[in-house]
Every structure is written in structure tokens, then in C-alpha cells.
Structure 1
Amino acid sequence: MDKKLKIYSGLLVFMVLGIFYVESVKPKEINWYPSYAAKHKIPYGTYVLHKELPSLFPENEVKDIYQNPYVYLKDAKHNGTYFFVDNKVNFDKDEFNQLLNFVNRGNNVFIATNGIHIDTLKTQTRVLTTSVFEEKAYQKMSNPIFGEKEYHFDRDFSKFYFSEVDTLHTTVLGELVIRNENDSIISKKPNFIKVTHGAGSLYLHTFPQAFTNYNMLLDKNYEYVANVLSYLNSQNQKEAGVASNRSNTILWDTYYKTGKSRITSPMYYILSTPSLKWAYYIALIGVLFFIIFKGKRNQRLIPVITPLKNQTLAFTRTIANMYYEKSAHKNIAEHKINYFLEYIRNQYRLSTLEINERFYKNLTSRSGNSEEKVVALFKRIQHIQTASSITEEDLIALNTAIEDFKAYKK
């Protein structure tokens, strides 16, 4: 491992450790997502309420329902109090008719949601708006038995109230109270009602935030939740002399929950889990570093080096021209003869130390040339070797004879 690669690896490790340190020491942001799910401990979850239901209803069984009401209530044997709390609860026609049949048999349905509109019950909601610059919203029970205490929720929320109700079958149980900066009441609207239907009742509340973890742990707001839910307590009903055939079961809805568990894709699961999310990010960073540094190492520009030219042919031509221009035909012929004899030794595996009749016959049989041509060629070679000088014509005739010998093929 070279020095540069060690530096890059050290930087990568330092960055990863730095990310882990920053993530571990920085304060976690508060998640204000309106979940309303019983398993969530975030401010707008309902973990606290769900955990405290057995103490609020000591004689009732709490049962989580994971199906939609239409499917679950097809079985007429199911009885109790169906409990809905969520940011938005939208029933279709068949589903709500199933709930009405459930209520008609003497059961209860509790629905806490923002702005519920139920035409069947002649119930409509509207958002309350005022012209007051600094207003405060309070929740208050209507029945004097609970006293005049008002409960404040210090987070901003949509102030829904019931703008239209069926007065023959509806009882107002709670109110939304708006006060100005001087603590004077400027508006009071119903936000918690009871609608009788058959042998049972529907309890409708327009402030689901009251049942969240944040509100339950804020000051003494849990008292308000207990007062609201006291209307569902079967023991209280018996003490009040109200006949009821309901079973002692709280049917806690987990189907209509904004924050219910749903995995839409593997990537959603990875990014929703902090440990897997950071492992995924670190893997991406590692791949990025690998591409940058490994690619730079492998794709570095390679300088173009011009290969050396083969100068043998040029050198040969230069020497030949030099001999030719000086009329050194004898020297050229001797070089030509030496190359030819080397050719015979390599090509035909014949010794050229003795040039005799046996040599002529062997060369003739191996080369395919006629014996007369072979003998004439070597007579010419002997003449040139013994002569003190030769003419240009003699050199040309020698070259022609040698080339003619090589050109013959069996």
C-alpha cells in the first residue's frame, strides 16, 4: 500500500467516525408527525392512552382491531365500544352502515377526528376562526358535575366544532372555548357530542390531539381525557341506571391510523430504520470513494511513446548505396555471396564448407532447381571470388541468378 492510498484510507475512516460522533452527540429532533398509533411514543402517538385504558376501564377488556370495521363487524357476535382516534377517519357508505348496525344493537362507537361529516346523523363540522390576534383555545366539559375547569392545549391545531347537529338525538357533552389576551371568552362552540341511535350511542369528538401522548402528559390534561372517556365506562352507566346489553370490551381501532405500520418497499424499510439508514449511507460513501480513487489510479493518462523505428533496412540501403557509388562491386558481391551461403545452411541444412559434386546433388534435390542451374550459379560465384574486380554487369548477373534460384518452388 503506497503512501497516498494510506492517506486516502485514513481520511475515509476519519470521516466515517466523524459522522458517527456528530450523529451520537447532536440532540434528536422532536417528531411531530400525527401518528395516533398506540406503539408510538412520539408526541402525537397514543402510547400513553392505550397503556392507561385498562386503568380507565377496569372492568373492560381492551382488544386491538387490525381489520377495517366493515370486515370485522360482519360477525354480529362482536359487541363493545369501538374506539377510533386519528387525524382523519373517512368511512365509506357500507362501512358506516355496518357501524350504525353495531350501535343499533346497543353498542357504542367513539370517534375522535378532525372535521367529521356524517350526513346520516345530520352532523356537520366547521373550522372556528376569530379576528383576535392572541387567542387561546381551551377544552371544557359541559356537564356541571365536572366543574368549570378548562384545559389548554399549547400547540397550534385546527379548531373544528359541530356547526350542525340533530337536536332530537344529540346531546352536547363538551365545548371548545376561545379566549382573548384579556382572558375573556369570545367564542364557545360544541366539540364533543353524543348521538343516540337505536339502543346505542355514537360519541363524536373534533379534537383528537387531546388523546395523544403530548396532551396526556401536559399539566393535568389527562383529567380531561378521563372525563371524556367516563361516558364510555360501563360501570358509570350502571350506576346512572342506564340499561345496556353491551359487552365489557374496548375495541381499539388500529386500521384507521395515519402512523400504522406499512412497508411500501425494501428501501422504505431501510431508510426508516436509523441504523440501516446510516449503514446504507456509509456504503454509498465508500463506493463513491472507491470509484474516485480507484478510477483515478486505473485511468491515469498514459503518455504516448513513439516506438523506435527499425533502422536496419535504412542502414543496409545506406551501406549498399555507399558501396555502389564508390563502384565497390567486388565487396557488394562478396556480401551477397555470404548471405546466400547462410541462406542455404539455414534453409536446406547443408554445409557450405566443401562445394563439390555431392553438394550439388543434395542442393538440387532439396531446392528443386535443376543441377545445371545449381552448377552454373556456383561457377559464377567461384569466378567472382577469384577475380580481383568485377564489373557492374557481373554484379547484376550474380544477383539475378541468386534471386532466380530462391524463387523456384517445388
Structure 2
Amino acid sequence: MDKSFKIYVVVFLLLILGYLYLESTKKQPINWFPSYAENHKIPYGTYVLRNELKTFLPNVTIDEIKIPPYIYLEDSTRTGTYFFADEAINFGDAEFFRLMEFVKRGNDVFISTHGIQIDTLNFKTKRLVTGNLDEKVFFKFYNKAFKSKEFTFNRAFINQVFTKIDTLNTTVLGITGYVNANNERTNEGVNFVKFNYGKGNFYFHTFPEVFTNYNILNTEYEQHTANILSYVDSTKPFLWDSYYKTGKSGISSPMHYLLSSKYLKWAYYMALIGVLFFVIFEGKRKQRSIPIRTPLKNQTLAFTRTIANMYYEQQDHKNLAEFKISYLLEFIRTKLHIPTTTIDETFYKYVALRSGNTFEDVEKLFKFCDEIHLKNQISMDELIKLNKMIEKFKNTIQYGRK
């Protein structure tokens, strides 16, 4: 290398190191991601609420539920107030029906979210908007015990209100809207209701930000959260949902852990840059010419036809059925991420929940597989029946119910 090239390399390295230093020392921006996870300390996490629940509800037993409500509420002896708070919650039909049965027995379900489909209970929502940027949002309770105090929120958010409610069984608990510079209301709607169902109650609330760290740590807004939680029945256990959360509850991979730390992240980047320079200066000098080799022909189709003809001629239906069952279990492990070590009722439930098939269909499929395992030989009709059941199971996952 000549002298001028070395100077360029040194200047380039200094620029890279200077950039890395500036990036590693600059102040990190605030993360406004709406995670609602109880272990997140970002503004829109729920770490403060989860750790201060005993302050808001001193006499209540608190349990964290980390499995789907469909599984948790299978036990009909469960009691309490099931609490959900997230950006959006999408229950399946079977799961929401189980929540309804839970409430019907005399329990409560509290749901605070911007997005939920609750047409089953004759509720509909819409987004409340304002055309004036100078207007501010307000929240107000109808309960006289709260002295008609109005609360505000100083950040932009999706303001949802109810457009349709069951007036015979619903009590309006709070409203939201916008006021202009003259303190005149320009638009408003219901955002907090109590719905009587059976012996229990549903509480529907459309402002989940009230339960986040940002809201609770602001002394001006903290009372708003306390007022809402005052509707929780202190005689029942408090069931905190940890399953339906937008944010991750833990580290999902080594790379996620590496990039989550500022110092580890920049060490990783510097290592990549070092490898790049090694490839540029060392690889260029020592790289050998790569000989051209004719790629191997793809014989997959011919091999598949040969194997298929062999099984067809030998009429070995039992062996072919065992292969299909093995491929089915591999499909469940790789696509649905469910272990297949133990095939029992719990396995059926998880497969049904993640595949969209009914519990009965899943149980029927694997019971039939067990019958095939126990036989020494099976007929062509049994092999065809197995194939149809497996294809129906896979098609339901890809295209929905048929």
C-alpha cells in the first residue's frame, strides 16, 4: 500500500471510531412502545401498577395468570376479578364464551383496551376525533363520590367511545371527550361501563393508558387510576392477565439480549467492523480462485416417484400411514411449536387453540392415529381416511374453518 492509501484508511477508521463514540454516549430516546407488560419500566409498561396494586387494593389477593383464559377458566371453581389491560385484545369465540360463563357464575371481568370485538354483548365502539389541535381531552366519572372532577391526558392516543350498549343491563360509569380553549365541550362519548351478566359483571374501559407507568407516576393522573380501580370488588381475588400483552414478557433470543444493552450492542458492532476490515485487507491477499463445478441435478421428484411406486406395488398401507403420522407430529412441532412427547388432553387443548380446529376434531384425529399404531395391517380405506383427516387439519390452519 502506498502512503496516501494508508492515510485514507487511518482517516476512515478515525471517522468510524468517532461515530461509534458519539452513538454510544448520546442520550437514548424515550421508548413509547405500548407494551403493557408488568416487567417493563418504559412509559407504557405496567411495572408500577403491578408492584403498587397492594396500595390500590390493600385487602385483595393477587394472582398472575400467564396462560390463555380458555385454559385457565376450564376449572369452573375459579373465582375473582379477571383483569385485562392492553393496546388491543382479540379473544376467540370459544374463549370469550368461557369468560361469559365465568362472569355468569358471579365473578367479574375488567377489560381496558382500545380494540376489542364485543358484538356478542351488543356493544360497539368507534374512534372519537377532534378537528382542532388546540382542544384537549377530558375524562369524567358519573359517581358523585368522585366530586365530578375531570381528568386530562397530555399525550396523543386513540380515544375510543361506545356507540352501542345494552341499556337494560348497562350502567355508564364514565365519559370522555374534548374541550376547546373556551372550556366548551365539542365532542364526547361513553368510555367506561359496567355490564350486568348473570350473577357477575363485565367492566369495559377504552383508555388502557390510565394503568401505565407514565400515568401513575404523574401525581395529576394517579387519582384517575385509583378511581377506576375502586370499582374492583375487594372481596374477590384479583386475577392479573400476563398472557395478552403487546410487549414481550422476557428475552426471546441471545441476540435480543445482546442488542438490549448499549455497551454490548456497540461492542458487537465494532466486532463486525473489525471482521469487515479483515475480509477486505486479508481476504483479498489470500483468496484463492474458486473452481467451477457443475451443480448436482435435483433428483427429488424422481426419488419421490420411485418411493411412491414402491409402496403402491407392495400395498404396505400400514408403513405409509406411520410415515404420515410422523410427518404430522413434525408439522405440529415446527409450525405450531407444541412438543409432541406426550399425547394427552392437555396436548389436544393446545393444538386446538393454536390450529383453529375444535378440541373434538383434534382428539378424533389422534385417537384414530392410536388405532393405526395398534394394528399390524390396515386397509386402503383406512389409509385414505387418515389422509383426509390430516389434510383437513392442515387446511383449517391455513385457510380457517371449512
TM-score by length of 2: 0.65
Counterpart in 2 of 1:95?
A: 95
Q: CA deviation at 1:60?
A: 1.0
Counterpart in 2 of 1:130?
A: 130
Separation in 1 of the partners of 2:133 and 2:57?
41
> Aligned with 1:256: secondary structure?
coil
Contact 2:60–2:237 (8 Å) recurs in 1 = yes
Alpha carbons of 1:133 and 1:44: their partners in 2 closer, same or farther (altered >3 Å)?
Answer: closer
Code of the aligned partner of 2:157: F
- What RMSD over aligned residues (CA atoms) do the two structures have, in Å? 2.7
Alpha carbons of 1:282 and 1:162: their partners in 2 closer, same or farther (altered >3 Å)?
Answer: same
Counterpart in 1 of 2:44?
A: 44
**Which residues in structure 2 correspond to 1:3-22 (within 5 Å)?**
18=18, 21-22=21-22
**Which residues in structure 2 correspond to 1:60-139 (within 5 Å)?**
60-139=60-139
1:254-289, CA deviations, whole angstroms, 9 ceiling, x for partnerless residues? 110000236665544544444443333222101011
Counterpart in 2 of 1:249?
A: 237
Q: CA deviation at 1:14?
A: 5.8
**Which residues in structure 2 correspond to 1:161-176 (within 5 Å)?**
161-176=161-176
Code of the aligned partner of 2:54: P
> Aligned with 1:281: secondary structure?
helix
1:66-96, CA deviations, whole angstroms, 9 ceiling, x for partnerless residues? 1010001101222111110000001010000
Contact 1:116–1:124 (8 Å) recurs in 2 = no
Contact 1:73–1:99 (8 Å) recurs in 2 = yes
Greater Rg by CA: 1
Q: CA deviation at 1:135?
A: 1.4
Contact 1:254–1:260 (8 Å) recurs in 2 = no
Separation in 1 of the partners of 2:128 and 2:251?
37
Alpha carbons of 1:13 and 1:61: their partners in 2 closer, same or farther (altered >3 Å)?
Answer: farther
Counterpart in 2 of 1:152?
A: 152
Alpha carbons of 1:31 and 1:133: their partners in 2 closer, same or farther (altered >3 Å)?
Answer: closer
1:6-40, CA deviations, whole angstroms, 9 ceiling, x for partnerless residues? 99998798667645642443111010101000111
Pairing 1:216–2:216 present:
yes
Most deviating of 111-120 and 61-70:
111-120
> Aligned with 2:230: secondary structure?
helix
Pairing 1:198–2:186 present:
no
Contact 1:16–1:282 (8 Å) recurs in 2 = no
Q: CA deviation at 1:250?
A: 1.1
Q: CA deviation at 1:142?
A: 1.3
Equivalenced residues, count: 286
Identity %: 51
TM-score by length of 1: 0.64
> Aligned with 1:188: secondary structure?
strand
> Aligned with 1:95: secondary structure?
helix
Counterpart in 2 of 1:226?
A: 226
Contact 2:79–2:107 (8 Å) recurs in 1 = yes
Separation in 1 of the partners of 2:105 and 2:264?
49
Code of the aligned partner of 1:194: K
1:144-168, CA deviations, whole angstroms, 9 ceiling, x for partnerless residues? 2101211111111111001100001
Code of the aligned partner of 2:37: A
Code of the aligned partner of 1:142: Y
Pairing 1:291–2:279 present:
yes
Contact 1:115–1:161 (8 Å) recurs in 2 = no
Most deviating of 167-176 and 24-33:
24-33
Separation in 2 of the partners of 1:5 and 1:134?
58
Separation in 2 of the partners of 1:114 and 1:209?
10
Separation in 2 of the partners of 1:222 and 1:256?
24
Q: CA deviation at 1:252?
A: 0.7
Counterpart in 2 of 1:260?
A: 248
Q: CA deviation at 1:137?
A: 0.5
